[in-house]
């Protein structure tokens, strides 16, 4: 089933002509409350003539145990003149400022509220599950306020677009103080929503409602080739005769297709005319929510480059130049070169053209499209290249903060090159962009909750590097969810599956990923260089363990005291080396084994050694990575033991 990209503006309504200023002036407190919480509702509708006088929010007080207030939204349906409950939100269940709008309430409500809500829904007294909880609110003595909507009409026809979405298709970002989401939905989901809207409107006996039903039927017909009233195949099913592919038609820009390279290779008509004097367009490479990309030839010297045309408004133009300025300073084999950036005659970026890697006749331009999983050796080669590019950028104080496979382009020899430096902030702020910032799949906890985890920095790139490494090896990401809210919750609170659960042969990487994907920045590798050192230590640890085994065998076969003492010192030194490497790799089990062996080589440092063993055992039990501070203390202890043995 082909996928379409839905442009979902999670806004309070989708009716034409809504006067938000009038609404804000009349219901300032309710509007401000909702603006702060980020609450928004998504509607599929075909309505016209909506009046702002018939839509408002009201504040209710909640009992002390839930604190503060709750906002209700009531709407008069222009088709039947009745009031309907639209939605509610309260600050007791307010998500953090970074939570995506549209987060299911069930993912935010306290367990006590969920239990009460479940009981009320089972009672069947209310048609709407939100009002099931509101009924308890209004019936309580500690509550004040008035609910305008009649419960028998609540949510009786206004369809909420609850869609099951793969987290791989999600994109989220903050723009103008509001959170917005883009994602892909299947045609089956679109059809289900349209048919739900149709059934609800058929229950309304009015001329206007019949017009809406006719509009929905026309849309369904355009979409699948038949109306839902057909005696033939149901909407979305294959017809006995072959149908040509049709494009869904939804009013008011609710849907936009994710444009790919045209099959006929023609240059799209939307190539900026103002740039034709500078560039000869050769190929349309693709389009995302933020920009269109072309392969072009510079007319002045014939050089082949990539041209990215971002969707930015006037307000964002100044930021555009400022944010990409740092990109000019990045000159590294693992970073896409930026040649030119300007906002005149139109905003554009002239970049190095990266040709892509070809496998079995298929071209893959970026790591997002590249087949996964890949063998361990290839994964390490790719991730090392990406890390080297990041290390170069970090040495200049430049962080990417939107690192994901789509932003890693591939050369023909599979050399990875990081692109789109500084563009995440621009895309999130531009009102013209259909991409609202970073994808939550590759967001670090601090990008979702700064208050708890601090501000993003270079260690954010380390986390995102870990996600890409994980995906390269397993073919999947550590967190999966069916809703944005659930996904955010897992990123903030759930521990990823150890690599050994998915691939037992990669158990030696468990400690590396535990540290790469730690929730708190302080528990991760503190720099990309530190991570690269750990990668180099993987093979070194295996080699040292092999040498230690050989030394141990030789020690047991030694015949003279002199040889025994020499091999004993050598064994102690190799054990120290194994312990140092294990600590660097966050391999707590291997570190404990080495520290335990060292008890037989020291007397002066035995107490400190026992304390170190106890500390590592605690970290292992609690699932806490070995921090850089602990690693330094262990290394200092090991050096003291090595000097003691050598005397």
DSSP 582-617: HHHTT-HHHHHHHHHHHTTT-STTHHHHHHHHHHHH
pLDDT exceeds cutoff 60 at 478? yes
pLDDT exceeds cutoff 90 at 287? no
Which pLDDT belongs to residue 168? 40
Task: Read off the pLDDT of residues 119-137 as tens digits, 9 standing for 90 and up.
Answer: 544 544 434 434 444 444 4
Taking the C-alpha atoms of residue 38 and residue 177, their distance in angstroms, rounded to an integer, is: 8
Residue among 203, 227, 231 nearest 215 (CA): 227
CB 200, CB 211: distance < 8 Å: no
DSSP 6: E
Side-chain-side CA neighbours of residue 78 (13 Å): 16
For 375-418+439-524, CATH number?
A: 1.10.510.10
CB 365, CB 358: distance < 8 Å: no
Which pLDDT belongs to residue 419? 92
Q: Residue 288, SS3?
A: coil
Annotated domain spans of the chain: 11-161, 259-354, 375-418+439-524, 539-646
Which pLDDT belongs to residue 360? 82
For 259-354, CATH number?
A: 3.30.200.20
Place of tokens 């759930």: 494
Taking the C-alpha atoms of residue 197 and residue 605, their distance in angstroms, rounded to an integer, is: 75
pLDDT exceeds cutoff 50 at 173? no
CB 40, CB 10: distance < 8 Å: yes
Alpha helices in 411-527 (DSSP H): 423-429, 445-448, 450-453, 458-474, 484-493, 499-502, 510-516
The widest CA-to-CA distance across the chain, in whole angstroms, is: 106
Pull the structure tokens for residue 258. 């994710």
Residue among 521, 246, 295, 537 nearest 409 (CA): 295
pLDDT exceeds cutoff 60 at 250? no
Which pLDDT belongs to residue 213? 76
Task: Read off the pLDDT of residues 289-318 as tens digits, 9 standing for 90 and up.
Answer: 577 899 999 999 999 999 998 877 556 666
Residue among 306, 352, 336, 321 nearest 426 (CA): 321
Q: What is the mean pLDDT of residues 100-112?
A: 43
Q: Do domains 259-354 and 375-418+439-524 have the same CATH topology?
A: no
Pull the structure tokens for residue 350. 């002239």
CB 324, CB 342: distance < 8 Å: no
Number of other residues whose CB lies within 10 A of the CB of residue 299: 12
pLDDT exceeds cutoff 90 at 405? yes
Beta-bridge mates of residue 179: 174
- Comparing 61-75, 103-117, 218-232, which segment has the lowest mean pLDDT? 61-75
Pull the structure tokens for residue 638. 């090991």
Task: Read off the pLDDT of residues 75-94 as tens digits, 9 standing for 90 and up.
Answer: 444 444 443 444 443 333 33
Mean pLDDT, the chain, rounded, equals 68
Place of tokens 């408002």: 56
- Provide the strand spans (E) within 322-431: 338-342, 348-352, 357-359, 362-364, 408-410, 416-418
Pull the structure tokens for residue 385. 């290249």
- What whole-number percentage of the chain has pLDDT above 90? 34
Taking the C-alpha atoms of residue 6 and residue 256, their distance in angstroms, rounded to an integer, is: 6
- Strand pairing category for 416-418 and 408-410: antiparallel
Sign of the C-alpha dihedral computed for residues 182, 188, 194 and 200 taken in this order: negative
């Amino acid at each position: 089933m082909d996928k379409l990209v839905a442009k979902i503006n999670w806004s309070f309504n989708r009716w034409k002509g809504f006067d938000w200023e009038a609404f804000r002036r009349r219901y300032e407190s309710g509007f401000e409350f909702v603006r702060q919480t980020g609450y928004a509702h998504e509607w599929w509708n075909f309505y016209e003539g909506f009046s702002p006088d018939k839509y408002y929010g009201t504040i209710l007080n909640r009992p002390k145990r839930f604190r503060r207030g709750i906002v209700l939204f009531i709407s008069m349906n222009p088709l039947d003149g009745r009031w309907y409950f639209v939605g509610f939100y309260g600050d007791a269940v307010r998500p953090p400022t970074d939570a995506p709008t549209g987060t299911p309430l069930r993912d935010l409500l306290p367990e006590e509220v969920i239990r009460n809500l479940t009981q009320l829904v089972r009672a069947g007294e209310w048609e709407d599950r939100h009002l099931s909880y509101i009924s308890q609110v209004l019936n309580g003595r500690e509550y004040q306020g008035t609910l305008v909507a009649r419960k028998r009409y609540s949510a009786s026809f206004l369809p909420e677009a609850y869609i099951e979405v793969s987290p791989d298709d999600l994109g989220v970002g903050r723009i103008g103080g509001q959170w917005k989401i883009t994602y892909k939905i299947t045609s089956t989901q679109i059809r289900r929503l349209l048919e739900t809207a149709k059934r609800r409107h058929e229950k309304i006996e009015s001329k206007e409602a019949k017009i809406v039903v006719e509009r929905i039927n026309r849309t369904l017909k355009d979409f699948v080739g038949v109306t839902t009233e057909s005696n033939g195949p149901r909407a979305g099913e294959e017809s006995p005769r072959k149908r040509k592919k049709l494009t869904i038609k939804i009013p008011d820009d609710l849907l936009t297709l994710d444009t790919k390279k045209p099959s006929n290779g023609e240059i799209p008509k939307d190539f900026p005319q103002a740039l034709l004097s500078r560039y000869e367009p050769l190929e349309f490479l693709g389009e995302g929510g933020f920009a269109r990309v072309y392969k072009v030839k510079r007319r002045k010297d014939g050089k082949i480059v990539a041209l990215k045309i971002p969707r930015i408004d006037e307000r964002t133009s100044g930021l555009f130049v400022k944010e990409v300025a740092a990109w000019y300073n990045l000159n590294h084999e693992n970073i896409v070169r930026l040649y030119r950036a300007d906002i005149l005659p139109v905003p554009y970026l002239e970049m190095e053209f990266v040709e892509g890697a070809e496998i079995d006749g298929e071209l893959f331009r970026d790591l997002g499209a590249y087949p996964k999983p890949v063998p361990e050796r290839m994964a390490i080669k790719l991730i090392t290249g990406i890390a080297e590019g990041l290390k170069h950028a970090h040495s200049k104080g430049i962080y990417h903060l939107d690192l994901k496979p789509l932003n890693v382009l591939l050369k023909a020899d599979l050399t990875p090159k990081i692109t789109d430096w500084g563009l995440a902030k621009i895309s999130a702020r531009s009102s013209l962009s259909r991409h609202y910032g970073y994808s939550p799949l590759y967001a670090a906890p601090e990008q979702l909750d700064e208050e708890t985890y601090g501000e993003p920095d270079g260690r954010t790139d380390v986390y995102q590097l870990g996600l890409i490494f994980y995906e390269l090896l397993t073919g999947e990401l550590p967190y999966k969810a069916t809703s944005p809210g659930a996904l955010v919750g897992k990123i903030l609170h759930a521990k990823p599956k150890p690599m050994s659960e998915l691939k037992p042969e990669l158990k030696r990487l468990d400690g590396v990923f535990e540290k790469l994907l730690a929730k708190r920045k302080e528990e991760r590798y503190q720099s990309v260089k530190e991570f690269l050192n750990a990668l180099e230590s993987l093979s070194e640890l295996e080699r040292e363990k092999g040498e230690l085994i050989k030394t141990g065998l030789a020690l047991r076969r030694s015949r003279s005291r002199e040889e025994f003492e020499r091999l004993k010192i050598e064994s102690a030194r190799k054990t120290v080396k194994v312990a140092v490497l294990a600590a660097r790799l966050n391999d707590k089990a291997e570190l404990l084994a080495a520290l335990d062996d060292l008890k037989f080589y020291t007397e002066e440092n035995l107490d400190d050694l026992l304390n170190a063993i106890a500390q590592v055992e605690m970290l292992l039990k609690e699932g806490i990575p070995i921090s850089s501070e602990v690693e330094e203390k262990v290394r200092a202890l090991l050096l003291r033991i090595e000097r003691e043995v050598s005397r």
